[in-house]
Structure 1
Amino acid sequence: MESKDYLKDISEIKHLMNKSSRFISLSGLSGILAGIYALIGAGFAYWLVKTYSNGTLLLDGTIFKLVLIDLFLVAFFSIVTAIILTTRKAKKQGEKIWDGTSKRLVVNFLIPLLVGGLYILIILGQQKYGQTGALMLIFYGLALINASKYSIGDIRYLGFIEIIIGLICALFPGYGFWLWILGFGIMHIVYGTWMYLKYDRKQP
């Protein structure tokens, strides 16, 4: 009996230590919705380019600016959804949404993401946009891996997958659009569903 109590105490201590060092309230549902937003945004961009640019996207054209706005809206709605659902989940679990751990999570996520974003803007300014999709996937994957040590460790697997898809995209830039859909759309839905079934569904 004492042995069982001892093991239970160790398990509880381990749980508390993990909880204090990692932000574990990320919502799987937000991942699913982010993937859906990405698919909708990609569909709209495809329609724009095919309908008004004959399949060619010019950097100095109006359609390109609309595609950039489209990408911004996908990112904006994904972030807002993640904040809302994660905040709701944190409240249910009795966790603080903004503490030292969540701050470290955000900082470690943003560093590779911002560096990648700036680099992509630089090469776009030089009219070198063949690798844009690959770079977005690779830097996003690096951001996930970098942030995983302060959150649910499982997100690093999504990061590895995004990097692999990004490298494939670099090898076959002609399929960049479809690989972008695979990475940001389909993989988010698959990962979000897995996380929802593994963590969220167990919550009261």
Structure 2
Amino acid sequence: MSREHLQTLTEIRGMMERSTKFLSLSGLSGVSAGLIALAGGLVAYLQLRTGWLTLFDSGTYQRLNPLSRREVIEFLALDAVCVFVLSLLAAWFFTARKARRMGHTVWTLASRRLMWALIVPLVVGGIFCLGLVYHRLNWLVCPAMLTFYGLTLLNAQQYTYRDLEYLGLCEIALGLIALFLTGYGLLMWTIGFGVLHILYGTLMWYKYDRQTQ
């Protein structure tokens, strides 16, 4: 097969891939989300002053924490919402910037499918975590968040880069570990949403984004 034919087939394959997968997802989105999550975990640690290993422990967190249970839950909920919103804004900024540089639009059929694949399991996971808090099973919230988030990424990877699958598997593994080491909840949360995102985003930037700079 001639070089011209190979180039034509490559271009056709690229067009088909762009029509079914959202390829403007920026690695810097993962890095920024990880940095924001690290900041959120540090704020929680400094504010609650109970230590990384006791905050979500089923038997000791209430005894060691000078704040009431309601105050702890309200603060952590506010902290988590701030991390989530800031991460979304950063992801939108870096992804939109990458799309402009590539000459693509952000809102396409592939991006809508990706959003739907993300929203459904995230909403289900959020309601599940609210149920845990309602039943005073606070030490299970972090494992549930990590596990549901990992399943969300596995569900979404079919509409974007396949590499997202590996991040999802790591999040699930960390969530299952946290399920049995409940006293390490805050530390596991910070590693999962902070460190893993930074590592993943850095690898994605190096692999896909350098040529668009």
Question: TM-score under structure 1 normalisation?
Answer: 0.94
> Where does 1:172-187 land on structure 2 (aligned, <5 Å)?
172-187=181-196
> Where does 1:152-163 land on structure 2 (aligned, <5 Å)?
152-163=161-172
Aligned to 2:111: 102
Task: Please tell me whether the aligned partners of residues 148 and 155 of structure 1 are also in contact (alpha carbons under 8 angstroms).
Answer: yes
Where structure 1 has 5 or more consecutive residues not aligned to the other structure, the ranges are none
* 1:73 maps onto 2:72 in alignment: no
| CA distance in 2: counterparts of 1:81 and 1:66, whole angstroms | 22
| CA distance in 1: counterparts of 2:26 and 2:4, whole angstroms | 32
- Aligned residues: percent identity? 39
TM-fit CA distance, 1:33: 1.0
TM-fit CA distance, 1:62: 2.0
| CA distance in 2: counterparts of 1:179 and 1:21, whole angstroms | 34
Task: Please tell me whether the aligned partners of residues 58 and 64 of structure 1 are also in contact (alpha carbons under 8 angstroms).
Answer: no
Aligned to 2:34: 35
3-state secondary structure, aligned to 1:61 = helix
Q: 1:38-64: per-residue Cα shift (whole Å, max 9, x none)?
A: 11110110111117x884386743233
More relative contact order in 1 or in 2 (CA 8 Å, sep 6+)?
2
TM-fit CA distance, 1:151: 0.8
Give the stretch that moved more between structures: 74-83 or 169-178: 169-178
> Where does 1:56-95 land on structure 2 (aligned, <5 Å)?
56=65, 60-95=69-104
3-state secondary structure, aligned to 1:97 = coil
| CA distance in 1: counterparts of 2:66 and 2:129, whole angstroms | 16
Where structure 2 has 5 or more consecutive residues not aligned to the other structure, the ranges are 51-61
What amino acid maps onto 2:209 in structure 1? D
What amino acid maps onto 1:102 in structure 2? S
The 3 A distance-change label for structure 1 pair 59 and 141 is farther
Task: Please tell me whether the aligned partners of residues 132 and 140 of structure 2 are also in contact (alpha carbons under 8 angstroms).
Answer: no
Task: Please tell me whether the aligned partners of residues 135 and 166 of structure 1 are also in contact (alpha carbons under 8 angstroms).
Answer: yes
The 3 A distance-change label for structure 1 pair 126 and 110 is same
3-state secondary structure, aligned to 1:110 = helix
Task: Please tell me whether the aligned partners of residues 49 and 55 of structure 1 are also in contact (alpha carbons under 8 angstroms).
Answer: no
Question: TM-score under structure 2 normalisation?
Answer: 0.90
* 1:127 maps onto 2:120 in alignment: no
Task: Please tell me whether the aligned partners of residues 34 and 189 of structure 1 are also in contact (alpha carbons under 8 angstroms).
Answer: yes
After TM superposition, what 4+ stretches of structure 1 lie above 6 angstroms from structure 2? none
Aligned to 1:12: 11
TM-fit CA distance, 1:172: 1.1
Aligned length: 202
3-state secondary structure, aligned to 1:199 = helix
Task: Please tell me whether the aligned partners of residues 59 and 127 of structure 1 are also in contact (alpha carbons under 8 angstroms).
Answer: no
